[in-house]
Homo-oligomer: A and B are copies of this chain.
Amino acid sequence: MQRCKFEVNKVDAQTRARLGVLHLTHGDVQTPIFMPVGTQATVKAMSPMEMEEVGTQILLSNTYHLFLRPGHELIRDAGGLHHFMQWNKPILTDSGGFQVFSLSEMRKIREEGVEFRSHLDGSKCFITPEYDMEIQEALGADIAMAFDECSPYPCDYDRAKAAMGRTHRWAKRCLGAHTRQDQALFGIVQGAFYKDLRIESAKTLADMDFPGYGIGGLSVGEPKPIMYEMLEEIEPHMPKDKPRYLMGVGSPDCLLEGVERGIDMFDCVLPTRIARNGTVFTKYGRLVVRNQTYARDMRPLDEHCDCMVCCTFSRAYIRHLIKAGEILGARLTSYHNLHFLINMMSQIRSAIAEDRFSAFKREFLENYNQNP
């Protein structure tokens, strides 16, 4: 009952980096891939046409937010999320588990499911793994995620183990409840920052034969080396022929480190969030274009970028827009940042294809760690 097909076409000679293709209902996705986040059925400040322009192959939307507003039934009746937001390429919806644990109020976790209050209006909600599947099937993304319990950092062993156990039982219930043949359901590896738990989780979920796997509960505040160490431990225990998705990670350095450790998929709000605050990625690192330094700088955001924004507008103009609180400012920085990460992933794929991933990574970071 494979709802998506994944091919690994090449593994890097020196690292665990892999080149693949993920065949989904709404099209193929070249991996490794960065998925921009459209939390509320829109990638903030961007139109779907612009998402295509910047080269987006797949985007992520948040089940928790859409469940609360406008509601999954409304989206189902509107023809599903693709039609509702007019995005005809692949979509992945998360399970909402992470948001229930990070955004909602007064949550009570029971074996049956999670009771919580909406962060929007305080209304009481109860989500079970079965109901989560119903919601995600109504949204109709190409990939749905199993409902999981995400542990915080730090988290004591017993609590992490309990959350992992529940995540596994819930994963089984999700598998049982999920019915849509045109939607792939991915399991999520948990286990906090305990190697034995992470390995146990990877093995347990592998036995359930999901068509793909998320790695949850990382990038939740821990130092980056700890995240990288966890990835190294988990990787050997994950099926080689299934896509691996490192959830919530999207800074350029983490993307490189993740790819090096065998990760195929990433998502993060980082590029659009920092964009709205006036920070952009450049070849030579992050540039805070809202700074006074750039008030009269007529150069593009990134002199080595060929995106529409860098071909058209100056730092001086974009700084003015950001300072003045103009929507176009957020649009231009968001566009550039998404283009930057998507283009970077494309370069990573070329590097893997040509057996020069390590050299690419070294050179990229040498440039990126300078000050723009």
Q: Which A residues contact B (CB, under 8 angstroms)? A: 40-42, 44-47, 69-70, 74, 77-78, 84-86, 295-296, 298, 312-314, 316-317, 319-321, 323-324, 326-328, 330-331
Contact = CB atoms under 8 A, between A and B. Distances in A.
Contacts of A45: 327-328
B317 A327 contact: no
Contact of A74 (B74, B85, B295, B312): B295
B70 A326 contact: no
B327 A44 contact: yes
Given A296-B74, A317-B85, A327 B327 contact: yes
A45 B69 CA distance: 23
B40 A74 contact: no
A74 B328 CA distance: 19
Given A326-B44, A327-B45, A74 B313 contact: no
B46 A316 contact: no
Given A69-B324, A327-B330, 8 more contacts: A40-B320, A42-B326, A42-B328, A47-B328, A70-B316, A78-B317, A86-B312, A86-B317
Contacts of A330: 327
| Among all A-B residue pairs, the 4 with the closest Cβ atoms | A45-B327, A70-B320, A42-B328, A40-B324
Contact of A313 (B46, B86, B296, B323): B86
Nearest to A74: B296
Contacts of A312: 86
B327 A40 contact: no
A126 to B, nearest CB: 23
Contacts of A316: 70, 74, 78, 84
Given A295-B74, A296-B78, A313-B86, A331 B327 contact: yes
A323 B78 contact: no
A313 to B, nearest CB: 6
A317 B74 contact: no
Nearest to A45: B327
B84 A326 contact: no
Contact of A321 (B42, B298, B313, B324): B42
A47 B46 CA distance: 12
B320 A41 contact: yes
A331 to B, nearest CB: 7
B317 A40 contact: no
Nearest to A314: B78
B42 A78 contact: no
A331 B44 contact: no
A28 to B, nearest CB: 24
Interface centre among A70, A85, A314, A316 (most CB of B within 10 A): A70
